[in-house]
Amino acid sequence: MLKLISFYKFVKIKNPVDNKFLFKKFLIDNKLKGSIIFSLEGINGSISGKQSSIDLLINYLKEKFLFKEFDTINQCEVDFIPFKRAKIKIKNEVVPLNELFNDDKYKFQNRVEPEDWNKLILSNDVTVVDVRKSFESEIGTFEKAIN
């Protein structure tokens, strides 16, 4: 059975460059294809291959970077491996948000104080869209929110 998995993990990586060749070899040795991005702030990847090889990769990532929890819910079965090769990239950010968060026009445009939040979301002219993953919103959600 072939799988496709997408994942990210914010975890401190002291020297991402040291991992480039180590993980490229791991992917090739285990017949996995796709890409993994390493940065000082963590890991982001989309990988495809046999389920057993993906399980090995997940365990290897956990062991190498000493974390227990890892979001692996974004998996699906595929009929073929959609990637041509294994790629490891070193980038400044795991999830590229820097431009958005550093742009002054987005800073506190519509700031809501914590004590005003519940009143705001219960207003008739406000629609709350909960964009979290389904397993997160199953734990709890906002009243009248669209999931």
* pLDDT tens string 39-98: 988 899 999 999 999 999 999 998 888 777 777 778 899 999 999 999 999 998 887 665
84 and 26 in a common domain: yes
Whether 26 and 81 share a structural domain: yes
Task: DSSP letter for 22, please.
Answer: H
Tell me whether residue 147 is in a domain: no
Residue at 47 is within a domain: yes
Sign for the CA dihedral angle at 51, 53, 54, 55 comes to positive
pLDDT in tens, 99-130: 554 455 555 566 778 888 888 888 888 888 87
Examine the domain organization and report whether 22 and 84 are in the same domain: yes
The CATH number that applies at residue 72 is: 3.30.70.100
Model pTM? 0.66
In a domain, 27, yes or no: yes
6 neighbors 29 (Cβ within 8 angstroms): no
Q: In this structure, what DSSP letter does residue 126 have? A: -
Q: Is 145 part of any domain?
A: no
Q: How many domains does the chain have?
A: 2
Q: How far apart are CA 78 and CA 2, in angstroms?
A: 6
- Residue entry with tokens 């791991």: 26
Note down the domain range covering 120. 98-139
